[in-house]
Homo-oligomer: A and B are copies of this chain.
Amino acid sequence: MNNHEPINNSYLISSKIVRAIRAVIGEKKNTLHEPTFKGKEWEYVKDCLDSGFVSSVGQYVEKFENKITEYTGAKYAIAVVNGTAALHLGLIVAGVKFDDEVLVPSLTFVATANAVSYIGAKPHFVDINAKDFGIDAKKLTAYLKEISEIKNGVCVNKKTGRVIRAIVPMHVFGHPCNLKELLPLCNEFKIKVVEDAAEALGSFYDKKHMGTFGNLGVISFNGNKTITTGGGGVILTDDVELATHAKHLSTTAKSNHPFAYIHTEIGFNYRMPNLNAALGCAQLEQLPELLNSKRRLYRAYSKAFSEISEVSLFQEPPLCQSNYWLQTLLLNEEFMSCRKEIIENCIEDGISTRPVWKPLHKLSMYENSPASSLPITNNLSERIINIPSSAGLV
Contact = CB atoms under 8 A, between A and B. Distances in A.
| Chain A contact residues, majority secondary structure | loop
A223 B266 contact: no
A247 interface: no
A365 interface: yes
A264 interface: yes
Given A46-B42, A275-B275, A355 B118 contact: no
Interface residues of A, number: 67
A56 interface: yes
A252 interface: yes
Interface string A63-83: 000000000000000000111
Contact of A357 (B222, B261, B265, B274): B261
A279 B54 contact: yes
B228 A54 contact: yes
A131 B349 CA distance: 66
A230 B263 contact: no
Interface in A272-290: 272-276, 279
Nearest to A56: B223
A275 B267 contact: no
Q: How many copies, total?
A: 2
A55 B268 CA distance: 21
A353 interface: yes
B55 A273 contact: no
A111 B268 CA distance: 8
Interface string A247-267: 000001110001111111111
A151 B262 CA distance: 38
Contact of A114 (B41, B252, B363): B252
Interface of A: 34-35, 37, 41-42, 45-46, 49-50, 52-57, 81-85, 98, 109-111, 114, 117-118, 120, 222-224, 228, 230-231, 252-254, 258-269, 271-276, 279, 343, 347, 353-358, 363-365
